[in-house]
Amino acid sequence: MRIFMRTGLALAGLIGAGSALACDTVLDPQQRFIDQPGKYCLSADRDEPIAILADNVELDCRGRTLTWTPGNGNDGIGVHLRRGDKAIVRNCRLQGWSYGILVSERGNAQVLNNTVVDGGVGIAVQGSDRPEDENAQLIGNRIFYYGQGQGHGADSAIAVQHAAKPVLTNNLIAGFRGGSAILLDRAADAQLTGNQLLDLNEGGSAAVRMEYSPRTRLVHNTAMLRRGVNARGLVGAVDATCIENVFINTVEAGFEQCSVRRYNVAQINND
């Protein structure tokens, strides 16, 4: 009986995994637009961007790479979630784009387990202050700036602007040299949990910058700057809740601005 039960559980797990990975349409390498609901996937690397123009679209790149090619007649956005509701983008690798993934005027978008390398802004959410543009979820993504791309001039690695209630969980940013690793601009009720911001710019930068973004909640985030030269942790954390965050090599951690703060750790560099 026990063997039968274990076998049944294993089969149930495989069936569940199969449905989660199901793909209705393998995207043609030259197809740039998705304008119908459904589950799409990639079967090969490509140098064409992808724009999602419909509700209820799931794009699973399955680890394939989208590489920006100069002069290819595109706008420098690797995956663009334009218009509509409830889109999911997962398992994509984006190299060299001005924007790796851009969510604009779309609600309930999920950006999951993607990797962005050698580009400008890794992931951006640009709403229009409408309720329809709320609830973006950025989870488990990785953004690296160690190549020869444009990232050294990008203002932020992750930017959320004019879009309320975003959730940023377990994202990794490493080697960023711009102004703010994470920028929240008019992003009320944001939740940042378990993000790692490592080897950041040591001069005139901030790990997390909040502008007109009340009630931000920051829990269990880690920021490490390369050296403590005018390097700041939080900027604009008024009305924020800050719990058990760890900031290393900052000159100003910024926790004192938080209206609720508990068990945060800051290693201040006074050199």
Q: Which is higher by pLDDT, 121 or 202? A: 121
Long-range contacts of 11-14 (CB under 8 A, 24+ apart): none
Calculate the average pLDDT of the chain.
87
Cβ atoms 71, 49 nearer than 8 A: no
Q: Indicate whether 17 pLDDT > 50.
A: no
Place of tokens 């039968």: 4
Q: Which is higher by pLDDT, 210 or 269? A: 210
Domain that includes residue 117, residue range: 26-268
Which two structure tokens, joined as six digits, stand for 129? Answer: 């202050």
Q: Indicate whether 1 pLDDT > 50.
A: no
pLDDT of residue 21: 61
Number of domains in the chain: 1
When pLDDT is cut at 50, 70 and 90, the band that residue 88 belongs to is very high
Place of tokens 């490509």: 46
Indicate whether 59 belongs to any domain.
Answer: yes
Comparing C-alpha atoms, which of 154, 133, 129 is closest to residue 144? 154
- pLDDT 10s digits, 89-117: 999 999 999 999 999 977 899 999 999 99
Q: What is the CATH number of the domain that holds 214?
A: 2.160.20.10
Angle CA(63)–CA(224)–CA(195) in degrees, nearest 5? 45
Indicate whether 3 belongs to any domain.
Answer: no
| pTM of the full structure | 0.89
